[in-house]
Amino acid sequence: MAANLSYLVASGLFIIGLKQLSSPVTARRGNTLAAVGMFLAVVVTLLDQEIVSFGTILVGVVIGSAVGAAAAHWVKMTAMPQMVAVFNGFGGGASALIAWVEFTRLAEGSPGVSAAIAVAVVLSLLIGAVTLSGSFVAFGKLQEWLPTAPVRYPLQHPLNLLIFLGLLAFAVYLIGGAAGMGNLMAITGLSLLLGVLLVLPIGGADMPIVVSLLNSYSGLAGAAAGFVVGSNILIIAGALVGASGIILTHIMCRAMNRSLANVVFGGFGTGTKGEDVPGATGTVREASAEEAAIVLGYARSVIFVPGYGLAVSQAQHQLRELADLLERRGAKVRYAIHPVAGRMPGHMNVLLAEANVSYDKLCDLEEINPEFSRTEVAVVVGSNDVVNPSARDVPDSPIYGMPILNVDQADHVLVLKRSLKPGFSGADNPLFHKDKTMLLFGDAQDSLTKLGQEVKAL
C-alpha cells in the first residue's frame, strides 16, 4: 500500500516535472522534481519489493552512477546530441534485458508464461533492441565515426520488410508457447539488425529527429517492460515519455520543415539536386580577416547568425569575445537563432548560454527577420541552409519552403565558412555569390580569433 502510494507520488512528479520543463522559468525545477520522483521510486522498490539479493544491485548502481555522473560532467556542450543518443540507447537496452531475464525466470517456474506476458516480452525486446542499436548508429553519425550522408543499400525496403516478417514469425512462435533460448536470441538479434538498417539510410542533419523518435521508443519499451514485470510505475512513466516524445518529434519535424515519413523513408540530403540550381554558380568575393574587420569594426549594428559550423568548431567563446569587442566600440549586437541551428533544435541556445551570452540577446526567427533590413552587417558563422534565400525565392529548390533568416537583406554580409561545400540539403547557396557578401574561409574558431585581433588593431 505505502509502496503503491509512493509510486503514485512519483508518477505525479514526472508529469509536473515534464510540464515545468517546457517553460524557461521553471525548467530547472521541473528537471529536479522528475529526478526526485525517480529517486523516490528507486528507494521504494528497494525497500518494499520481493528483492532477495542486494549485492548485484549495489554493484550495478555504483558503476552506473559513476559512469553517468562522469559522462554528464565531462561531456562538451557541443556533443550533447550524441550524449542524449547514447543514454537513450542504454535505457532501451535495459528494457530489452528486463524482458529477457523475466521471461527465462517465468519459463522455468510454474505456471509458465501467459500469452499476454509473452506479447509484452516480444514488444520490450523488439522496441528496446531497436532503440539500442538505432541510438548507437545515430551516435556514430553525430560523432562522425560513421558517414553522415545517408547510407543506401540494395533492396532497402524489401529487406526491412523481410526482417520484420521474420520477427513476426518468431514472435508468434514465442507467444504460442513454443519458446526456447534460440527464439529469444533470434528476436533480439533481428531487432538489433533492424535498428541499424533503419537509421543508416538517414542523413546526419536528421539525426536529432531520429534521436527524439528513439527517445519516444525507449519510453514505450519501458512501458512494455512494465507489463512484463507487472509494475505500474514503468507503464506510466514509459507511456508519458512515449507520448511526449512523439509530440516533441513532431515539433522538431515542423521546425525543420520535414514530415516524419520523409525523414524515415526519404533519403534527403544526398547532395544530387543542388548542382541543378540555376544561377547559383558564380564568383565569390573572398576577404582577408583585415578587410572583414574594417567592415565589422565600424558597423553600428551587427547580427550574428551562428550555425552548425560554430558548434563543430566549438567557437562559441570566441564569438562572444568578438561580440563584446564590438559592443565596446558602440555597436548594437544581437544573435539570430534559427530553430534548427546547431546540431539539434535548441542546441545553439545551450552553446551560447555556455559562453555566457544573456538569453535576451538571442532572437528567434520571427523576432529578428524584420531587423536584417535595418542592420549594417550580418555575420554568418558556419550556417548554410538556414540562410539560403533559395528556400524563399526558388520553388524548385530542395529546401523551398523552409523558414530562413533573411540575412541577404542586411547592408553587408560576412560569411565565415570552412569551404564552399553545400549544406546538408545539398543545395548551393546564392547568398555566397551576392555582391554584398564577403567570405572569410577557415575554421570558425580561427577566423573569429583573427577577426578579434584585427578589430582590436583598428
Partner 1 sequence: MTEIPVFGLYIFVLAMFAGFEVITKVPPTLHTPLMSGSNAISGISIIGALLIAGQADGTLQTALGLLAVILATINVVGGFLVTDRMLRMFKRKS
Applying CB under 8 A, does 204 fall inside the site for partner 1?
Answer: no
Considering CB under 8 A, how many residues would be counted as binding partner 1? 121
The size of the chain, in residues, is: 458
Task: Tell me the closest approach of the beta carbon of residue 242 to partner 1, in angstroms.
Answer: 7
How many Å apart are CA 456 and CA 452, to the nearest integer?
Answer: 6
Single out the catalytic residue among 276, 364, 385, 393.
Answer: 385
Contact string (CB under 8 A) for partner 1, positions 237-276, x = contact: xxxxxxxxxxxx--xx--x---------------------
Task: Tell me the closest approach of the beta carbon of residue 439 to partner 1, in angstroms.
Answer: 28
Region 11-50 residues binding partner 1, contact defined as CB under 8 A: 11, 14-15, 17-19, 21-24, 27-28, 30-32, 34-35, 38, 41-42, 45-46, 49-50
How many Å apart are CA 204 and CA 148, to the nearest integer?
Answer: 4
| Cβ-based nearer residue to partner 1, 60 or 189 | 60
Applying CB under 8 A, does 421 fall inside the site for partner 1?
Answer: no
| Cβ-based nearer residue to partner 1, 203 or 219 | 219
Among 6, 78, 188, 212, binds partner 1 (CB under 8 A): 212
Task: Tell me the closest approach of the beta carbon of residue 369 to partner 1, in angstroms.
Answer: 14
Short-list 436, 347, 440, 432, CA closest to 385? 432
| Cβ-based nearer residue to partner 1, 236 or 416 | 236
48 in catalytic set = no
Applying CB under 8 A, does 310 fall inside the site for partner 1?
Answer: no
Specify the amino acid at residue 259.
S
Applying CB under 8 A, does 5 fall inside the site for partner 1?
Answer: no
412-417 vs 332-337, strand pairing mode: unpaired
- C-alpha distances in angstroms, 228 versus 24, 237, 328? 37, 15, 63
Task: Tell me the closest approach of the beta carbon of residue 365 to partner 1, in angstroms.
Answer: 9
DSSP readout, 416-452?
A: EES-S---TT----GGGGSTTEEEEES-HHHHHHHHH
Q: 3-state DSSP call for residue 339?
A: coil
Q: At what angle do helices 347-354 and 316-328 cross, to 10 degrees?
A: 60
Task: Tell me the closest approach of the beta carbon of residue 160 to partner 1, in angstroms.
Answer: 25
How many Å apart are CA 396 and CA 141, to the nearest integer?
Answer: 29
Task: Tell me the closest approach of the beta carbon of residue 387 to partner 1, in angstroms.
Answer: 17
Backbone angles phi, psi at 136, to 5 degrees: -70, -35
Applying CB under 8 A, does 302 fall inside the site for partner 1?
Answer: no
> Is cis: bond before 398, omega within 30 of 0?
no
412-417 vs 377-381, strand pairing mode: parallel
Q: Which range in 7-15, 286-294, 437-445, 446-454 contacts partner 1 by CB under 8 A?
A: 7-15
Contact string (CB under 8 A) for partner 1, positions 51-80, x = contact: xxxx-xx-xxx-xxx-xxx-xxx-x-x--x
Active site amino acids = 385
